């Protein structure tokens, strides 16, 4: 049974190609912008049944996933890549570690959109970064937004490896135009390792740190970001009301 692909279907394909793997919740937020996330479960299932999407359960337990069953991960099927003129992926998207990284990056985009919905962030734009044949990837994404009228332009790196290449990537991102780089770790121990590396580097004043748990708990703007020397960073507090952030989703919005 064939279906007539609509504009939203092609937007779904574009978003999945951009992020490589996505969960239903991510897609719902991304296609709705700052409005209430839309319900698209039935459409995703139909696109899967008709071979436009690949769908399977993630192979490992994700610490931010709180339901008993493992989450359904959506990827583009060969049919969709063919009709959309998209290249095949060069990495193994069925690898659990690869998926986890990509899903965490998508979560960070969704957290910014929740900030928009909560009127903490305005004029938000997100760009997912990928390596190309001629250009290396230095950060996972770049974001531009305003908080209380103050404009911000950040690069975002998710759970990086603590090595010399990280310093080089941050230097390149700053040269390319971002004001500073937000580094989000999976846990405080890894965050401390990266902070120790960067504290004596050339980019020590241009990096700020948080963990996924902290961001899920308090939001992008009200999170207590840290500097490379483990001090609290005043990134947004002078531009926002000091009231506690009240999330409108269960656990981590997944």
pLDDT score recorded for residue 243: 37
Res. 64: pLDDT tops 90: no
Q: How does residue 239 score in pLDDT terms, banded at 50, 70 and 90? A: low
Mean predicted confidence (pLDDT) in 186-214:
96
pTM (whole model) above 0.85: yes
Query: CA of 137: how far to CAs of 76, 132, 140, 141, in Å?
Result: 22, 8, 7, 9
pLDDT score recorded for residue 252: 40
pLDDT score recorded for residue 90: 79
Residue pLDDT, tens place only, 90-116: 789 999 999 999 999 999 999 999 999
Residue pLDDT, tens place only, 12-25: 999 999 999 999 99
Res. 242: pLDDT tops 50: no
Return d(Cα 206, Cα 222) in angstroms, integer. 19
Q: Is 251 left (phi over 0), alpha (psi -120 to 50) or beta?
A: left
Res. 166: pLDDT tops 80: yes
Return d(Cα 39, Cα 136) in angstroms, integer. 36
Res. 1: pLDDT tops 90: no
Res. 122: pLDDT tops 50: yes
Pure H helices in 176-227: 188-198, 212-218
């Amino acid at each position: 049974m064939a279906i007539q692909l609509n504009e939203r279907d092609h937007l779904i394909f574009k978003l999945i190609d951009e992020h490589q793997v996505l969960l239903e919740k991510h897609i719902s937020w991304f296609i709705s912008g700052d409005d209430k996330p839309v319900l698209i479960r039935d459409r995703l299932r139909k696109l899967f049944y008709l071979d436009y999407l690949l769908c399977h359960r993630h192979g490992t337990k994700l610490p931010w996933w709180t339901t008993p069953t493992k989450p359904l991960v959506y990827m583009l099927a060969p049919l969709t890549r063919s009709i959309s003129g998209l290249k095949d992926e060069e990495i193994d998207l069925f690898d659990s570690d690869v998926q986890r990284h990509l899903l965490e990056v998508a979560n960070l985009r969704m957290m910014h959109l929740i900030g928009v919905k909560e009127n903490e962030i305005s004029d938000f734009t997100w760009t997912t970064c990928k390596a190309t044949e001629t250009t290396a990837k230095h950060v996972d994404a770049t974001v531009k937004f305003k908080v209380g009228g103050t404009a911000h332009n950040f690069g975002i790196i998710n759970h990086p490896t603590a090595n010399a290449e990280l310093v080089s990537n941050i230097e390149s991102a700053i040269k390319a135009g971002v004001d500073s780089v937000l580094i989000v770790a999976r846990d405080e121990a890894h965050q401390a390792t990266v902070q120790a590396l960067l504290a004596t580097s050339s980019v020590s004043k241009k990096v700020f740190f948080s963990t996924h748990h902290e961001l899920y708990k308090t939001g992008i703007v009200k999170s207590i970001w840290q500097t490379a020397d483990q001090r609290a960073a005043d990134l947004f507090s002078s531009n926002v009301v000091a009231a506690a952030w009240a999330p409108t989703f269960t656990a981590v919005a997944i």
